[in-house]
Amino acid sequence: MSGKNINLTLKIWRQNSPEDRGRWEIFQAKDISTEASFLEMLDIVNEQLALAGKEPVAFDHDCREGICGTCGCAVNGRPHGPDRETTLCQLHMRRFQEGDTLVIEPYRARAFPVIKDLVVDRSAFDGVIQAGGFVSVNTGQAQDANNLPVPRDDAERAMDAAACIGCGACVAACPNAAAMLFVSAKVSHLAVLPQGRTEAARRALSMVAQMDAAGFGNCTNHKECEVECPKGISISNIARLNREFIKAGLASKE
Amino acid sequence: MQLDSKIPGGPLETKWDRHRFDLKLVNPANKRKFEIIVVGTGLAGGSASAALAELGYNVKTFCIQDTPRRAHSIAAQGGINAAKNYPNDGDSIWRLFYDTIKGGDFRAREGNVYRLAQVSNLIIDHCVALGLPFAREYGGLLANRSFGGAQVSRTFYARGQTGQQLLLCCYQGMMRQIAAGQITMFPRREMLELVTVNGQARGIVVRNLLTGEIERHAAHAVVLATGGYGNVFYLSTNGAGSNVSAAWKAYKKGAGFANPCYTQIHPTCIPVHGDYQSKLTLMSESLRNDGRVWVPKQAGDKRPPHEIPESERDYYLERIYPSFGNLAPRDISSRAAKLMCDQGKGVGSTGLAVYLDFADAIKRLGRKVIEERYGNLFQMYHKITDQDPYEVPMMIFPASHYTMGGLWVDYNLMSTIPGLFALGEANFSDHGANRLGASALMQGLADGYFVIPYTMGGYLGGTPLTEVNTSHPAFTEAEAAAKARTEKLLGIKGKRTAASFHRDLGNIMWEYCGMGRNDEGMKKALKLIADLRGDFWQNLLIPGTDKNFNQSLERAGRVADFLEFAELLVTDALARRESCGGHFNEAFQTEDHEPLRDDENMCHAAVWEYAGEGKDPIFNKEPLVFENVKLAVRSYK
Amino acid sequence: MIWVARIFSTSIGKKQLMAVTGILFLVFLTTHLLGNLSIYGGIEAFNAYAEHLHALGKLLVVAEVGLVVALIIHVTLAIILFFENRKARPIKYAVDKSGGGGRTLSSQTMPFTGLLILAFVGLHLANLSHHIVDQTNRTIFQIAYEVFANKGILIFYLASMVVVGLHVRHGLWSAFQTIGANHPKYMPFIEWLSIFFAVIVAVGFGSLPLAILALK
């Protein structure tokens, strides 16, 4: 763990409120240890801003270990920055060189309005889950867990999809601001498990309807979501959603 | 302060059944007339919200995050325990109960812990029914592994993301109830005050973190599921937002705070590397199943690990605890690591780390198997430290992780304020002085899914409650107090940020009230905390205003509470004249540096009562009665 | 029938109609190319193919109507989707950079290559369709030769075939993905087929005018 210090120029989007038009501000980040994480670098900049009597840059974060899905913004055009399968909090400054300029801006999508600076409102995702991203079983109703065998591969595939952290990078990365990777991850997680089959048709139709109503764009298979997903969720889930949608639309009573 | 634990009499195995029978029921048609506030949306708050809503209560749920899928329960990696005995290896409800009591160093209630072990199985059933993709065997049935200090394989897991998957179950259950109109969700709200009317908890005052507006919310009962206070150490494995504020506000309104000195230091975290560091990252304890912990035998040996021959390595856990070896419980492993570093055998640039070495496991099982088991953890380690753990041993060091202390609750999970319940890490009830691995998830969900739905009915059905709405003077008063406090914070206009005060507080706590404690240090800490708090109220700087989204203001409020709470933690640690579990006072240890309990004088929960601004808290105690287990010296040798 | 409208007004429904009509065009391209390759059998063979085709009579009309309907659906939906997608991101990124391995030149230019193809189809029909061009005294070969003898038109044709190839490169695998045909076992083949088919279409159709000019 031997680090060095680097100097960077930060071009950061500042916006006071959802109504504000927003503007760019330039900051110098000096003597940043390459061992620091990206968010720690922002912490340092914010501490300096506060001491200089200015308002720190607002950004969402919590666990800082890549699992809660709270953090995220675009760094030089890349959601969560340049590393693959890495959340912003897991991105380290050793990834950057002395003298680099970083353009830092919030996720841009109609369905994710900016709240302040780099903080966006992702509640549209909650709306999509409310439309059917669950199994309707009440507490206490369940049978013994081992009464229902699930093939290991199915469980693994479900887990691949269930690993989604709901960070919104897929929407941010999509040239159309589509939410298909997010929606398909939840539909897939539940569609490949027997527990989720009962409501599969209803789920697919109503989640897609809610996704459209929330103002996300349409999928045109650019694959950018898969590239930027910090959890490596595959677009084969989108294909599965498409299949589930056909099945539900043509063959179910829904 | 009345401390009636309300533990039902009779045999341990039937206590919960009889208690459920004795509890009053609320008729289905009447449930919708009751409103319940739940604060916090981790496993406990999420599961409680969903389960209460399913029953037909009107639930109003609050969280500080942008959505109820983010609370720090999500970061739990290893798994969740249950007494299913699927592997046929000798597990039972009784054994899970006994292990938990013993693991907690005999400082938890028998009745609560037995109930926890009983309902543990229902949690697995329920989560599987909700579609949780637990790991499975090729035959399609659930896989188990052994975990942190257990000699049976009773841990269910979903890769290294068990907490995430469980939290998503709760979240999805909540979303279903929101769609059904049973839950009203209030995200990005911070609880500023608890409102009591006639001594009963009847509502809360919150700040809308987006707009800065102060809101009043009334209900028939309030459930706090606001997590632990590990961030009092500043550097911890907790999420950045985790805080003690809600519990602290409840304490100041009269709720007893129990055993704050029981703090768990997790042995396997990535070591500290710089003063800008904002958090410590946990490496799942499951790594100790295959990794071997060692330091050089010679103090001050600065050779790189591969140059240190086998004969000059000290695999100290295997040496000191031959029967548990690298799987010794958390408190024991953490203290052993500290001891090694105190003796100058620590490794890495700071000397504050020990090796966790997988070379033998890779040799024995092959890289592929190790990759399957720990791939995501290895990748995480690599990302953070830029070192490849397949090639060089990991470096680990203990860090604050979980807090066993919390709001005092009775068997119904109700605090000393009627109508105020505390669930999950926010209460003190089930883990005693030390929590075993994979038990936090179990407790959070047990409380939320399988205890509160019953005991809440018992309270609402059996308690006369007057009509209260938000125009009641108690709300006006609470709102005024909240506003005055915010104004006071903003009015200081000093020169230091809340973050820098928090860092200083953390240094004090870690240094003088961390893994190893002594009276002199703790007394010094009390003085340092008071000084720091004085400086805070003189010299705090908060940029911006309270009229919009202001993360600096949020942080300042939480640090202000930590600065008060820290004092209570140290006071409790000083008052506990023994060493047990997560509390280790150097004056009370055996010749082998093992903690020395005092069962004669200290077999109680210490419950602190708020006495008013500037006054010493009042000490109360709930004696712990053990009828079914014999208090033994906890030996893992 | 309300359910039909409901399904096909959703984003996925619209995309799936795009996919199905797109696949129809791919089938059309295949048969059209196979037929026109008769030019390599000489002038007689080429003219004979055209006559056989016209001899299909009502069957040909059905196919033509089908293609026109598919074209209307494909183009209308493309326009709707294009504007919906623009609306979904009202403020653009200052830096818009691909992560690599995602969008391609082909995927990014779909709306524009589509528009160019539409223009090409218009010109193509005006030049060569038996509905528009009087064929009583001339063979199809003579007509085609006269068209391609114009250098401007020839260059536009050749360029258009590259554009068609570009459109097909993303369109083919994308259509399969959209109707849900993505499986780790055969998706690599479909992706490969996309590129292969794109090259075949561009080279195959592109070679035709040159072959015609060479034959005189």
Domains in chain B, CATH or no CATH each: 266-398 (3.90.700.10), 473-611 (1.20.58.100)
The string of DSSP letters for B550-581 reads -HHHHHHHHHHHHHHHHHHHHHHHHH--S-BT
For residue B177, CA distances in Å to A96, B590, C135 come to 45, 53, 70
| 3-class SS of residue A37 | strand
Hey, how many other C-beta atoms are within 10 angstroms of the C-beta on B180?
12
Chain B residue numbers with beta carbons less than 8 Å from the beta carbon of A167 are none
Interchain pair B282, A125: CB under 8 A: no
Q: Are strands A78-79 and A74-75 parallel, antiparallel or unpaired?
A: antiparallel
Considering CB atoms only, which of A76, A209, A239 is closest to C182? A239
Q: Shortest Cα distance from B360 to chain A (angstroms)?
A: 23
Chain A residue numbers with beta carbons less than 8 Å from the beta carbon of C88 are 109-111, 176-178, 215-218
Tell me if chain A has a CB within 8 Å of the CB of B126: yes
Interchain pair A131, B172: CB under 8 A: no
* Residue to substitute from A14, A44, A47, A67, interface B, most B β-carbons within 10 A: A67
Interchain pair A149, B140: CB under 8 A: yes
Tell me if chain A has a CB within 8 Å of the CB of B161: yes
pLDDT in the model for residue B80: 97
Kindly provide the b/e burial profile for residues C147-160, where b requires at least 16 CB atoms within 10 angstroms of the residue's own CB: bbeeeebbebbbeb
Q: Which of B377, B417, B399 is nearest to B271 (CA)?
A: B399
Tell me if chain A has a CB within 8 Å of the CB of B134: yes
Distance, CA of B586 to CA of A50 (rounded, Å)? 41
Say if residues A162 and A65 touch (Cβ distance below 8 Å).
no
Distance, CA of C35 to CA of C60 (rounded, Å)? 14
Distance, CA of B270 to CA of B263 (rounded, Å)? 19
* Residue to substitute from B41, B43, B164, B355, interface A, most A β-carbons within 10 A: B164
pLDDT at B150 over 90: no
Q: Does residue A102 sit in the same domain as residue A133?
A: no
Q: Model confidence at C99, in pLDDT bands (50, 70, 90)? A: confident
- The answer for residues whose C-beta is within 8 angstroms of residue C177's C-beta and 6 or more apart is A221, A235, A238, A239, A242
Chain A residue numbers with beta carbons less than 8 Å from the beta carbon of B138 are 152
- The answer for residues whose C-beta is within 8 angstroms of residue A52's C-beta and 6 or more apart is none
| 3-class SS of residue B128 | helix
Tell me if chain B has a CB within 8 Å of the CB of A63: yes
pLDDT at C1 over 70: no
Structural domain count of chain A: 2
In the block, tokens 């693994």 appear at A156
Considering CB atoms only, which of A24, A223, A236 is closest to C102? A223
| 3-class SS of residue C133 | coil
pLDDT in the model for residue B317: 95
Q: Shortest Cα distance from C88 to chain A (angstroms)?
A: 5
Considering CB atoms only, which of C96, C174, C180 is closest to A77? C96
The string of DSSP letters for B388-435 reads -TTTS-EEEEEEEEEE--EE---TTSB-SSTTEEE-GGGB-SSSTTS-
- The answer for residues whose C-beta is within 8 angstroms of residue B527's C-beta and 6 or more apart is none
Distance, CA of C133 to CA of A197 (rounded, Å)? 57
Distance, CA of B413 to CA of B419 (rounded, Å)? 10
Q: Which helix (H) or strand (E) segment is B330 a member of?
A: helix B330-342
Considering CB atoms only, which of B50, B279, B549 is closest to A115? B549
pLDDT in the model for residue B330: 85
pLDDT in the model for residue A1: 45
Tokens of B266: 């997790």
**pLDDT tens profile A79-108:** 999 999 999 999 999 999 999 999 999 999
Considering CB atoms only, which of A11, A76, A211 is closest to C97? A76
Say if residues A15 and A116 touch (Cβ distance below 8 Å).
yes
pLDDT at C161 over 80: yes
Q: Does residue A128 sit in the same domain as residue A248?
A: yes
Q: Which of B334, B205, B202 is nearest to B268 (CA)?
A: B334
Q: Shortest Cα distance from C127 to chain A (angstroms)?
A: 33
Considering CB atoms only, which of A54, A119, A162 is closest to B133? A162
Interchain pair A142, B387: CB under 8 A: no
At A99, which CATH number? Answer: 3.10.20.30
Which range has the worst mean pLDDT, B145-149, B504-508, C96-100?
Answer: B145-149
Strand partners, C204: none
Interchain pair C11, A228: CB under 8 A: no
Q: Does residue A108 sit in the same domain as residue A157?
A: no
Q: Does residue A132 sit in the same domain as residue A160?
A: yes
Q: Model confidence at B635, in pLDDT bands (50, 70, 90)? A: confident
Q: Does residue A133 sit in the same domain as residue A86?
A: no
Mean pLDDT over B190-202 rounds to: 98
Q: Does residue A131 sit in the same domain as residue A92?
A: no
Going across the sheet that includes B406-407, the strands are B406-407, B257-258, B604-609, B618-623
Q: Does residue A173 sit in the same domain as residue A70?
A: no
Which amino acid, residue B269? Answer: C
Q: Of how many residues is chain A composed?
A: 254
**pLDDT tens profile B399-411:** 999 999 999 999 9
Tokens of C94: 């200052």
Tell me if chain A has a CB within 8 Å of the CB of B551: yes
Q: Please indicate whether chains B and A are in contact, defined as at least 3 beta carbon pairs under 8 Å.
A: yes
Distance, CA of B125 to CA of B386 (rounded, Å)? 40
What's the N-to-C CA distance of chain C in angstroms? 56
Q: Is B595 left (phi over 0), alpha (psi -120 to 50) or beta?
A: beta
Q: Which of B172, C15, C134 is nearest to A203 (CA)?
A: B172
Q: Does residue A111 sit in the same domain as residue A130?
A: no
pLDDT in the model for residue B149: 66
* Residue to substitute from C3, C12, C182, interface A, most A β-carbons within 10 A: C12
pLDDT at B529 over 80: yes
Interchain pair A176, C89: CB under 8 A: yes
pLDDT at A3 over 90: no
Interchain pair A220, C10: CB under 8 A: no
**pLDDT tens profile A129-160:** 999 999 999 999 999 999 999 999 999 999 99
Tokens of C112: 């524009």
Q: Does residue A96 sit in the same domain as residue A133?
A: no
Distance, CA of B244 to CA of B264 (rounded, Å)? 16
Q: Does residue A72 sit in the same domain as residue A13?
A: yes
Distance, CA of A240 to CA of A233 (rounded, Å)? 13
Q: Does residue A109 sit in the same domain as residue A129?
A: no
Chain B residue numbers with beta carbons less than 8 Å from the beta carbon of A43 are 276, 278, 499
Domain that holds residue A249: 123-137+146-253
The phi, psi pair for B621, rounded to 5°, reads: -135, 145
CA-CA-CA-CA torsion sign (B54, B57, B63, B65): positive
Chain A: residue nearest B386 by CA? A1
**pLDDT tens profile B198-247:** 999 999 999 999 999 999 999 999 999 999 999 999 999 999 999 999 99
pLDDT at B369 over 60: yes
Strand partners, A101: A9
Which amino acid, residue B481? Answer: A
Q: Which of B107, C75, B141, B195 is nearest to A144 (CA)?
A: B141
Say if residues A52 and A101 touch (Cβ distance below 8 Å).
no
At A206, which CATH number? Answer: 1.10.1060.10
Q: Does residue A189 sit in the same domain as residue A96?
A: no
Interchain pair A242, C85: CB under 8 A: no
The phi, psi pair for B377, rounded to 5°, reads: -70, -40
